[in-house]
Amino acid sequence: MNSSELNAWRDELYLNFGSIREAKQYFAMMNARYELASQKVDELLDESKANMKGELKPIYLHRSSDSAARSLKWKLSAAKCFGFANAARAISLLSEDVISILRQAEGVSDELIRDVVEMDFKRCYLNYALNYSYHEMKRVELFIEEFESWRKLPRLLNENYS
């Protein structure tokens, strides 16, 4: 096995790392990015709670438990006082329809709607950061495990033919 040829072949792939050491550093960086995004998610959830004081909130952010990266989604309140009826559900994307529903609800101010739209901007970016860093971290972790297993193979070949 010619390691120079293998390394030259690998370099043509233009990966985010060139060696197993760099892959481990890249994994640590992705893990740190995921932790930072998770911290910012917690801060945005706190901001959401602070902006919508009171027991009943017309719309609120929650962190999904149905995905590995646990992205943020909106929920319209099921409380009868808002009159959302069948619209009360998890919403992964704010839309003109959702804004219209909020405008028609009693006690929902334009200022609150503007705050929600601003938080949605942050939600979009945080979801991307969470998903990207989480899945990249998992891909690199799998690569490292596979490479560590592969690393033993050349020695096995040498042992069998000595």
Q: Does residue 162 sit within a domain?
A: no
Is residue 72 included in any domain, yes or no? yes
Record the tokens describing residue 110, joined without a space: 């334009």
Q: Is residue 56 part of a domain?
A: yes
Structural domain harbouring 33: 3-79+93-151
CB 64 within 8 A of CB 131: no
This model's pTM is above 0.85: no
pLDDT tens track for 102-119: 888 877 889 989 999 999
- The SS3 assignment for 74 reads strand
pLDDT of residue 1: 65
Helices (H), the chain: 3-11, 20-51, 96-104, 110-151, 153-160
Residue with more model confidence, 27 or 155: 27
The total of structural domains in the chain comes to 1
Q: Which of the two residues, 134 and 75, has the higher pLDDT score?
A: 134
Residue 129 clears pLDDT 60, i.e. is over it: yes
Classify residue 134: in a domain, yes or no: yes
Task: Judge whether 68 and 134 are in contact, CB under 8 Å.
Answer: yes
